[in-house]
Chains A and B, each alone.
Chain A
Amino acid sequence: MFDYTLKYRTLVAYIGGDIDHANAPQIKISLDNLIKTESFDNFVLDLSAVTFMDSSAVGLIMGRYKTLKAMGKSVSFARPSSVADKVLKVSGLYTIINKI
């Protein structure tokens, strides 16, 4: 699942379902296209519909975070599901990306 909204220069990307090594490449393409084509200042990754994620998703998020930071954008997480929240905690991603 992939969707987005853009309002007041805040781009919210919604990724959901299972995020693993098998489908991370497709999500990466969708996110990179979005980042490339839209005009925004703040990037929010909404993880409320994530039903499963593992370290492949962490690699995917870290990669996009580096790109967005290099572009001078702010990055944050919104509404992580309980499974996403636990993986984000263990991976230490909350130390670099805020949850709003």
Chain B
Amino acid sequence: MDTLSIKVNALEANESFLRSTVGAYASRLNPTIEIVADIKTAVSEAVTNSIVHGYECDPKGIISVNCEILNGVLTVEISDTGKGIPDVEQAMQDFYTTLKNEERSGLGFTIMKSFMDSLEVFSAPGEGTTVKMKKQIA
């Protein structure tokens, strides 16, 4: 067994904390610098989504990160219990954003998909969102 679980508040400061922590966790298998950078970027996207969309920047919200390394594959699950996504398929389209006036690029899921080997999104309005990503790291 090799797992990592963290719960933090939905604070902006936790964006860099969580991506660095998951990157450091993955580094125990000596992946390339590029693989660690990819993981950090994908984690940052998911955590930012939870803060900005899930909790609408309310720091009382809790973000859970659960990681596992098994057979050289890193699995990262990032969950919130925020407002959820009504239409996951639509949210995953390139450039789709509900916050057009705030200069959000609408590319969060696109980047998660491109930078990781797999991406699954589970969500329901009022219940929250879980993003599950995997990447071969060794």
Contact = CB atoms under 8 A, between A and B. Distances in A.
Interface stretch (A5-13, A18-26, A72-80): A18-26
A55 B16 contact: no
Interface residues of B, number: 26
Mostly, the A contact residues are helix
Contacts, number: 71
Mostly, the B contact residues are helix
Given A18-B16, A22-B16, A55 B40 contact: no
Nearest to B40: A52
Contact of A58 (B19, B38, B107): B107
Interface centre among A21, A56, A58 (most CB of B within 10 A): A21
Given A55-B108, A60-B103, A83-B37, A20 B44 contact: yes
11 contacts: A18-B16, A22-B13, A22-B15, A54-B45, A55-B48, A55-B111, A60-B103, A63-B103, A86-B41, A87-B111, A90-B114
